[in-house]
Amino acid sequence: MFTVRDFTPRQTDVERGARGRLAHLSDEALLALASRSDESALGELYDRYGRVAYGLALRVVRDRALAEDAVQEAFLAVWRSAGAFLAEQGKPSTWILTLVHRRAVDLVRREERRRADPLEDVEPPTGEATDEEAWLRAQRQVVQEALRKLPPEQREAIELAYYGGFTQSELAEKLGQPLGTIKSRMFAGLKRLRELLAEAGLEVDAP
């Protein structure tokens, strides 16, 4: 049984030191502060996850203004529900990105935008040689490599659902497959993805 527990961007001590007084705190500690209306704690969480959040939202909604809306609304939910979340198990980063994805999917469904079209002119960020850049690039490679190893039909179902915002029923229609087939592909594919990510070394919390 593989478990994937950690997907948190790492920062060097130098980067942490360059930021505010909260940079040394854990995500959980920041959430605890945010639940007591500490805005700088929310700011620190944004500094850690805002970029991934925005990139994810943009990939789903394919519109900068909508992506910003999704991120803002997700962080507002973080602000409001931090205390309730702390009572549960689970990583704050996973929770935050889950909120962002859900908001983005809600928006893209409401807008009835054409989904899974190529995203225009998203310029890759200029390659600053920061540790964060290097870390993100490494994560991207690991996840892309894991996706490539999935059977194509499982990968297709997962990518159209997660990035395209399609429901299972919509996918069954779009792909001309029975609903049960789509559900099975998604389930098998995500389980396999979890294993592949664990095999790639993402199962342990790094120091």
Partner 1 sequence: MTVHEQAAGFVLDALGPDEAREFEHHLRLCPDCEEELEPLRVAAVALAFAGELPLPRQELRRRVVGGEGVAVPFRPRRAPLVAAATLAAACAALAVGLGRGAHDRRLALQLPPAPAGKVYEIWFLRGTRAVPAGFAHAGRNVVRHVPRGAAVAVTLEPRGGSRRPTGRLLLRAETA
What part of residues 1-60 is at the interface with partner 1 (CB under 8 A)? Answer: 2-7, 37, 39-40, 42-43, 46-47, 50-56, 58-59
Q: Which of residues 81-140 bind partner 1 (CB under 8 A)?
A: 89-91, 93-94, 97-98, 100-102, 105, 107, 110-111, 122-125, 136, 139-140
- Phi, then psi, of 143 in degrees rounded to 5: -70, -40
Structure tokens at 70: 């999704």
Q: What is the spatial distance between Cα 95 and Cα 97, in angstroms, rounded to a whole number? A: 6
| From candidates 19, 29, 86, 162, binder to partner 1 by CB under 8 A | 162
In whole angstroms, how close is the CB of 28 to partner 1 at the nearest point? 15
Count of residues that interact with partner 1, criterion CB under 8 A: 83
Toward partner 1, which CB reaches closer, 13 or 121?
121
Concatenated DSSP letters of 58-83: HHHH--HHHHHHHHHHHHHHHHHHHH
Give 24 or 64: the residue with its C-beta nearer to partner 1: 64
Sign of CA dihedral 169, 175, 176, 179: negative
Amino acid at 115: R
- Which of these ranges, 13-21, 25-33, 159-167, lies near partner 1 under the rule CB under 8 A? 159-167
Nearest distance from residue 34's CB to partner 1, in Å?
9
Cβ neighbors of 143 (< 8 A, separation 6 or more) are 197
Number of H helices, E strands in the chain: 9, 0
Give the residue, chosen from 11, 22, 30, 73, that forms a contact with partner 1 under the rule CB under 8 A. 73
Nearer of residues 29 and 139 to partner 1, judged by Cβ: 139
CB of 151 to partner 1, least distance (A): 14
Report the nearest approach of partner 1 to the CB of residue 55 (Å). 4
**CA torsion angle 23 24 28 32 (round to 10):** -70
- Signed CA dihedral, 63, 52, 102, 31: sign only: negative
Does position 149 interact with partner 1 (CB under 8 A)? The reply is no
